[in-house]
Amino acid sequence: MGTDYQAARQKMVDNQIRTTDVTSHSVLKAFLTVAREDFVPTPLKPLAYIDTDLKISDSGGIGRYLMEPSPLAKMLQLARITRDQVVLEIGCGAGYTAAILSLLAGSVVALESDPALADSASTLLSETGYDNVAVVTGDLEKGYAAEGPYDVIFFNGAVQTVPPALFDQLRDGGRLVVPVGSGLSAQAFLYVKDGGEVSGRAAFNVSVKPLPGFRTVEEFVF
C-alpha cells in the first residue's frame, strides 16, 4: 500500500506547523497545497513529511537540504508576504520553498548557485504549474540585482552574516528574513529597510542547515 501523501501533508500542518504558533491562513494553505514529496529524491519520498531536514544534494562540497517544515513556516509568516509583492529567494535548492513562495507572492526570483539543482528545480516548478517563479543561477552571496529591488528577500538556509549587496537589493519598506548563525545557536532575523536605512531584530531561535558560498565572520585573535 502506497503512502497517503495528502493525509501526511495535513498531519504535517496540524502537528508540526500549527503547534509552533503559525497562524497565517495564507502560509498554512500554501503548505497544504504544495506536494513536498515532489521535491525530494525518490528514495526519500516516503519520508517527505517527517519533522526534519531532508538531504537533496551533496554537490559543491556542502550538503543541501529541504528545510524542516516548522522553521520554514515560521520564517515565511515572519516575512508577511502578500500577492502584490516580488520576492527574491536565496538558495532555491530543489524548488520546494519557491513553490510555497509562489502561492504567497506575485512573483518569485529563485536564486541557486548549483546549476544542476537550478535546472532540476526550474523543470519541476514548470511541470507542477508554479509559473510565477523564475529560477536563476549565480552566486548566492551577490543576490540578483537584475530583477531588483525586491519587496521581500528570503534566505532558504542559514548564513553567518548578510552581505551588504543583499540589503542594497531590498526596496524601501521591504523586508529580509534570514537565519543567522549555526546549529542550535542560530536565530531568525527580520530586517526592514526604511528611508534607505536597515534595522533588524532577532525574532526566534532556529536550527537551520547552512547555505553554501557565504564567507564566515572572521574572529578577532588576540
In a domain, 177, yes or no: yes
DSSP code, position 214 = P
pTM for the complete prediction? 0.94
Tens digits of residue pLDDT in 139-168:
999 999 999 999 999 999 999 999 999 999
In a domain, 127, yes or no: yes
Q: ∠ CA 120-130-100 to the nearest 5 degrees?
A: 90
Do residues 210 and 110 lie in contact, with contact meaning Cβ atoms separated by under 8 Å? Answer: no
Looking at the structure of the chain, the number of domains it has is: 1
Residue 220 CA: distances (Å) to CA of 78, 117, 160, 168 = 33, 36, 15, 27
In a domain, 129, yes or no: yes
In a domain, 215, yes or no: no
In a domain, 71, yes or no: yes
Cα 77 from Cα 220, distance rounded (Å): 36
The pLDDT score that the predictor gives to residue 63 is 84
- Residue pointed to by grid coordinates 544542476: 116
Which of 70, 81, 87, 98 shows the shortest CA–CA distance to 204? 70
| Residues contacting 2, CB < 8 A, separation 6+ | none
The pLDDT score that the predictor gives to residue 183 is 76
Domain containing residue 80: CATH number: 3.40.50.150
DSSP code, position 131 = T
Helices (H), 12-148: 25-33, 69-79, 96-104, 115-127
Residue 197 host element (H or E): strand 197-205
In a domain, 144, yes or no: yes
The grid coordinates listed for 178 are 534570514
For each successive 10 residues of the chain (222 residues), what is the average pLDDT? 88 96 97 97 93 84 88 98 98 97 98 96 96 97 96 96 96 97 88 95 94 67 44
CB atoms within 10 A of CB 221: 4
Q: Which domain holds residue 44?
A: 5-205
In a domain, 187, yes or no: yes
Which of 207, 195, 39, 194 shows the shortest CA–CA distance to 130? 39
The pLDDT score that the predictor gives to residue 3 is 83
Q: Which three-class secondary structure state does DSSP give residue 143?
A: coil
Cα 130 from Cα 139, distance rounded (Å): 23
In a domain, 222, yes or no: no
